Amino acid sequence: MFKKLFIANRGEVAVRVARTARAMGIRVVGAVSSADRGASWTAALDELVGVGSGPPRESYLQQERLVQAAVQTGCTALHPGWGFLAENARFAALVEAHGVAFVGPAPRAMDLMGLKTPAKRAARAAGLATIPGSDGPLRDEAEALRVARDIGFPVMVKADAGGGGRGMRLVHREADFAAAWHAASSEALAAFGDGACYLEKYVERGRHIEVQVLGDRHGRAVHLWERECSVQRKHQKLVEESCAPCLSDAERERVGALAANLARSIGYAGAGTVEFLRAADGAIYFMEMNTRLQVEHPVTEERLGLDLVRLQLEVAANRPLPASLSAVKPTGHAIEARVNAEDPARGFAPSPGVLARFDIPLGLGPGRVRLDTHVAAGDEVPPYYDSLLAKVVAVGATRAEAIETLARCLSGARIEGLATTIPVHLAVLGSAEFRAGDYDTGSIPGWKE
Amino acid sequence: MAHVKVVPIGSPREMALDATARLKNRAALLEKEARLAERRAKVQAGWGPTYVDRVHQKGKLTARERIELLRDEGSDLFEVGTFANWGRAFGKLESPAAGVVTVFARIHARWCVVIANDNTVASGSWWPRTPEKIERAQEMARRLRLPVVYLVDCSGLYLPEQSQSFPGATGAGHIFKMNALLSFEGVPQIAGVFGDCIAGGGYMPIISDRVYMTEGAYMVIAGAALIKGAKSQELSSLDIGGPEVHVHASGCADARAPDDETALALIRADVARLPSSGADYHRGGVDAAPPFHEAQDIDGLFPSDHRHTWSVEEVLARLVDRSLFKEFLPARGREIVCGVARVGGLWTGFIANRQGVVEDAEARDGAKPAGILYREGIAKTAAFSRACEADGIPIVWLQDIAGFDIGLEAERLGLLGYGSSLIYANSTNKVPMYSVLLRKASGAGYYAMAGLPYDPIVQLATPLTRLSVMEGRTLAIATYRTKLDANFEIATDDPEERAKLEQAMQDTEARIEGDMDPYKAASQLDIDEIVRLSELRPWLVALVEMAYQSIGHRTVKNPRIWSLHDLDALVEPR
């Protein structure tokens, strides 16, 4: 096993990865920006290397500097965490070229899954259904309209080079199609230099399902069951849980097998997540694959009693997956709340500042609580980074018990000095829709902005 | 140091060049590339639809249709010698592509050289330069150890011009010598005989390991027209040398096929029996990947005026995998870039001229113009070329070179000697070398950077290429130097004489300008192919993969034992 690991990440991510590495007897070197220098969470690391100033572009996204730091400190592996460079194939190639093992899939897999059209083709080839639409980008309005009629309205027009909602238009009626097409296309041209757009059937009242997969470098891949993340605000997940309330046991088995199939068919090595959308009519479509560990991975870990970071490191060291892995059966129910330093009363605006108080009670029952955080009272939350303060994961024998546990814990939490999203979590957990499992990605159950 | 520590090279499109310059460059280039496309289409049409129809009426396919069936579906073809005999007429006749199609094609995932007589151009007969073109393709196959597929449909020499293509060292007979050498060196050759193959057309397939004949095909030393009594006995050429004779009686062919399609399927099946490519083994677990900076963007990087400069880093960034590159001896001889990168996942050496002005502590003003070879650059290039040879790393030469440095200082430093050492290295290299004439390829610089006289396996040019001993302006100066002052200005006060001299110098310049046209060089086979700038990356991917396809015939060291690392070790700060 590697003796020294470099973590090209910060905050909660660095703390989470370091915890496992140190438990395995691996020394941990962390990258820190000048804004993070002296932060309490850096105590979780054995060594620190300054990689630049506060803005990520000047530090946590400085590829060559990170690789140099890893080489100079004698690290033999690099964990990218999630966010920043975790899905950057060129960075992975650069790391490997310097003799440092990249804890993640091969760059080729990132390339493949990073592009919408090739990813969907690979998924279809592996037997996964994709949302009906054009196979790849279209340039011609007349052709686009033909495809739109074919798949039926409402349809979504999306820029092929897109992201962040730009170059995206929802069209309900054929009469509005031409205008929407031109708007999306010219927006995409302005933003990305490429006006090509593709079409997708718009799935109403969809539920977000994702399956944790894990492959090794010897051709084996398994799924580690699903999570549901339908409580979202503008594609930002707020609450994640497992098992998914919207799936039957048969569906659960089926999406799991499909996700494992996809991982196997592309020779995927490492931890990844295959995302699906479940339509109101029960159809389940492949959305995309994230070629990294997810923020919400503790939900899976708590139900299965596994340490995914440990498995990632073992795969990176070329160990075969343990044979017992596919026999691991999930138990109970786990729910995670992402507590962000954001002000829900002000449109979820970032709320940086100094934490005057930071208490989250873990022992209020009825189930147990896992707390993943990197902050403590007295810390300053810098403005440059992700606003996540803590992930609170409640585990109960049943969903109701997990909800009750999480609600008690968050009600008892005392965080002062800045605004957090806890009021939203409490509203969700208390709502009848959430408890009944009757909601979708379109709105937050129990919360009105 | 076993790791080849490649690092990011180049910058995003918007930073590489401002939008105005980029669009202007691109517009000027696209004009030239449109002409290239038009001329390619003209060549590929052969003698046109009438002759295509004639071939079809005989129940046969054209040469290009045969190649389509031969190649792996969806794979790209890389044609060489497209412009052979371009702009040249024989009487009233033209010979597009010199009447033979030579391409690199993938068959069952193996690169092969396909040589197909163009049966829409004078029944596939051999024109002046056709033998040389065929021999050049055979030589490419010999050097790379690629299987050769001959699609023979050739009525022999085009006799009205026989004196140009028969007796010389590279005359038609040399094709059969190349057949023999390929066989001698163990390079697989497979032939399909598809039509009237008379004399030379009859000899060409025979040395091949497998020979297939279609029912309508014959091979003869001489056709029925020249055989006494053939007429009275009603003997046709098919009776004399068809499959009945050659497959069953003489054994000069191995098997018969009912039609073109079947013959091609049989050839494909033979190629599938050959060993598979070694390329994937040599990738060492690293997958091929596109450049990080869009390969297509290369078409905006070259200024329309050949005197203006471009950035070698930005060009390399658009040719190599993930735009990751490792430069050797970067601080010395900065007028030249020597480095390695993966191309299609396979290690490739690059030697490229830097443009503009480079720092040089020893030069006046601490800087000197690049695009020229100086002592350090020459020495670095020679050391890098030798190291690539020792390590088995194929070399890609990217030329935009005005020549050697000249003057008292250059001679005192012994550039003639350093240049000769480089020439010796390149001349004795066995490792595959490919030269690309990006723009200027002038004077001894063209030689020193492995121009065609130094046997690169393939030499590519772009629509921007200017190939010459010296630029027209320089030649005009050299010609009229007695009438010029020390600054090369016309030294006369007589307005009439001045006007005459100006005109004469302009004429010289214009004539050389015309001679530097890449189509002229391609017509003479001095350039193997003119390609669009955006086609360079796919060409390099294919050529490098070919260099790694056949195992066992050349050195391919793993990076652990590269001598190249020594260059690094010796200049690393202690």
* Phi and psi, residue B255, nearest 5°: -155, 155
Question: How is residue B544 annotated by DSSP?
Answer: H
pLDDT recorded at residue A116: 81
Our separate counts of H helices and E strands in chain B read 22, 24
For residue B448, give both structure tokens.
């020193």
Query: What is the rounded CA–CA span in Å between residue B148 and residue B185?
Result: 13
Grouping H, G, I as helix, E, B as strand and the rest as coil, residue A354 is strand
pLDDT recorded at residue B166: 87
CB A425 within 8 A of CB A339: yes
For residue B373, give both structure tokens.
């070879």
Q: Which residue has the tokens 């010289």?
A: B508
CA distances from residue B436 to B395, B427, B464, B519 in whole angstroms, order as listed? 11, 17, 11, 15
Residues A190, A219 within the same domain: no
Q: Which of A217, A233, A292, A408 is catalytic?
A: A292
Residues A375, A354 within the same domain: yes
Residues A299, A430 within the same domain: yes
Range of the domain at A85: 4-103
Is position A109 within any domain?
no
Q: How far is CA A169 from the centre of its chain?
A: 24
Expressed in angstroms, the distance from the first to the final Cα of chain A is 50
* Number of Cβ atoms within 10 Å of the Cβ of B47: 18
Positive or negative, the CA dihedral A44, A46, A49, A51 is: negative
Q: Which stretches in chain B have pLDDT values below 70? A: 1
pLDDT at A348 over 60: yes
Q: Which residue has the tokens 């409402």?
A: A154
CA distances from residue B209 to B139, B150, B191 in whole angstroms, order as listed? 18, 11, 8
CA distance A92 to chain B (A): 11
Nearest to residue A101, comparing CAs of A325, A260, A274, A319? A319
pTM of the model: 0.90
pLDDT recorded at residue A161: 63
Give me the CATH number covering residue A166. Answer: 3.30.1490.20
pLDDT recorded at residue A195: 77
Domains of chain B, CATH where assigned: 45-276 (3.90.226.10), 280-469+519-569 (3.90.226.10), 472-515 (no CATH)
Nearest to residue A62, comparing CAs of A82, A81, A88? A88
pLDDT at A165 over 70: no
Is position A118 within any domain?
no
- What does R_g of chain A's alpha carbons equal in angstroms? 22
Q: Spell out which residues of chain A touch residue B4, defining contact as CB-CB under 8 Å.
A: 97
Q: Is B111 exposed, middle or buried (0-12, 13-18, 19+ CB in 10 A)?
A: buried
**What are the strands of the beta sheet with A270-278, ordered from one edge?**
A284-290, A270-278, A207-215, A221-233, A236-242, A333-340, A388-396, A368-373
pLDDT digits (tens, 9 = 90+) for B415-470: 999 999 999 999 999 999 999 999 999 889 999 999 999 999 999 999 999 887 77
Is position A119 within any domain?
no
* Phi and psi, residue A220, nearest 5°: -100, 140
Question: How is residue B247 annotated by DSSP?
Answer: I
pLDDT recorded at residue B480: 81
Residues A90, A151 within the same domain: no
Contact state of B3 with A93 under an 8 Å Cβ cutoff: no
Amino acid (1-letter code) at residue B407: G
The CA-based diameter of chain A, rounded to the nearest angstrom, is 64
Give me the CATH number covering residue A423. Answer: 3.30.470.20
pLDDT recorded at residue B259: 95
Grouping H, G, I as helix, E, B as strand and the rest as coil, residue B79 is strand
Expressed in angstroms, the distance from the first to the final Cα of chain B is 15
Query: What is the rounded CA–CA span in Å between residue B92 and residue B49?
Result: 18
Residues A196, A213 within the same domain: no
Contact state of A108 with B289 under an 8 Å Cβ cutoff: yes
Q: Is B366 exposed, middle or buried (0-12, 13-18, 19+ CB in 10 A)?
A: exposed
pLDDT recorded at residue B75: 97
Q: What is the DSSP string of B345-387?
A: TEEEEEEEE--SEEE-TTSGGGEEESSEE-HHHHHHHHHHHHH
Q: Give yes or no: A370 in active site.
A: no
Query: What is the rounded CA–CA span in Å between residue A228 and residue A240?
Result: 6
Residues A85, A149 within the same domain: no
CB A47 within 8 A of CB A27: yes
Is position A114 within any domain?
no
Residues in chain A: 449
Query: What is the rounded CA–CA span in Å between residue B45 and residue B510?
Result: 32
Q: Which of B4, B286, B327, B568 to mutate to test the interface with A (most CBs of A within 10 A)?
A: B286
For residue B63, give both structure tokens.
């040469």
Residues A96, A69 within the same domain: yes
pLDDT recorded at residue A172: 92
Contact state of B289 with A63 under an 8 Å Cβ cutoff: no
Grouping H, G, I as helix, E, B as strand and the rest as coil, residue A371 is strand
Query: What is the rounded CA–CA span in Å between residue A392 and residue A389?
Result: 10
Is position A55 within any domain?
yes
Contact state of A97 with B5 under an 8 Å Cβ cutoff: yes
Q: Which of B1, B4, B7 to mutate to test the interface with A (most CBs of A within 10 A)?
A: B7
For residue B408, give both structure tokens.
């008292």
Residues A239, A94 within the same domain: no
CA distance A384 to chain B (A): 24
| H-helix or E-strand spanning residue A199 | strand A197-201
pLDDT recorded at residue A164: 55
Contact state of B289 with A64 under an 8 Å Cβ cutoff: no
Query: What is the rounded CA–CA span in Å between residue B540 and residue B197?
Result: 35
Among the listed ranges A6-10, A118-122, A131-135, B469-473, which one has the minimum average pLDDT value?
A: B469-473
Task: Write down the ipTM of this complex.
Answer: 0.84
CB A393 within 8 A of CB A30: no
Residues A255, A401 within the same domain: yes
Nearest to residue A212, comparing CAs of A138, A303, A136? A303
Angle in degrees, CA A89, B346, B349, rounded to 5: 110
CA distances from residue B89 to A227, B47, B155 in whole angstroms, order as listed? 74, 13, 20
Query: What is the rounded CA–CA span in Å between residue B416 and residue B432?
Result: 26
Q: Spell out which residues of chain A touch residue B13, defining contact as CB-CB under 8 Å.
A: 193
Give the residue from A47, A82, A103 where a domain finishes. A103
Is position A232 within any domain?
yes
CA distances from residue B54 to A85, A348, B57, B126 in whole angstroms, order as listed? 61, 75, 5, 19
Give me the CATH number covering residue A70. Answer: 3.40.50.20
pLDDT digits (tens, 9 = 90+) for B193-203: 998 888 888 88
**Within the 303-332 window of chain B, which residues sit less than 8 Å (CB to CB) from chain A?**
321-324
Question: How is residue B18 annotated by DSSP?
Answer: -
Is position A448 within any domain?
no
Residues A321, A416 within the same domain: yes
For residue A439, give both structure tokens.
């909601």
Q: What is the percentage of chain A residues whose pLDDT exceeds 70? A: 98
For residue B176, give both structure tokens.
């059969």
Q: How far is CA B20 from the centre of its chain?
A: 33
Angle in degrees, CA B443, B445, B447, rounded to 5: 85
CA distance A63 to chain B (A): 9
Q: Which of B5, B283, B292, B568 to mutate to test the interface with A (most CBs of A within 10 A)?
A: B5
Report the number of distinct structural domains present in chain A: 3
Q: Is B24 left (phi over 0), alpha (psi -120 to 50) or beta?
A: alpha
pLDDT digits (tens, 9 = 90+) for A400-447: 999 999 999 999 999 999 999 999 999 999 999 999 988 888 889 988
Strand residues in A235-367 grouped as ranges (E):
236-242, 270-278, 284-290, 333-340, 342-343, 349-350, 353-354, 357-359
Residues A196, A229 within the same domain: no
Question: How is residue A130 annotated by DSSP?
Answer: B
Residues A174, A302 within the same domain: no
On whether any CB of chain B is under 8 Å from the CB of A105, the answer is: no
Is position A265 within any domain?
yes
Question: How is residue B484 annotated by DSSP?
Answer: B
Query: What is the rounded CA–CA span in Å between residue A159 and residue A180?
Result: 12
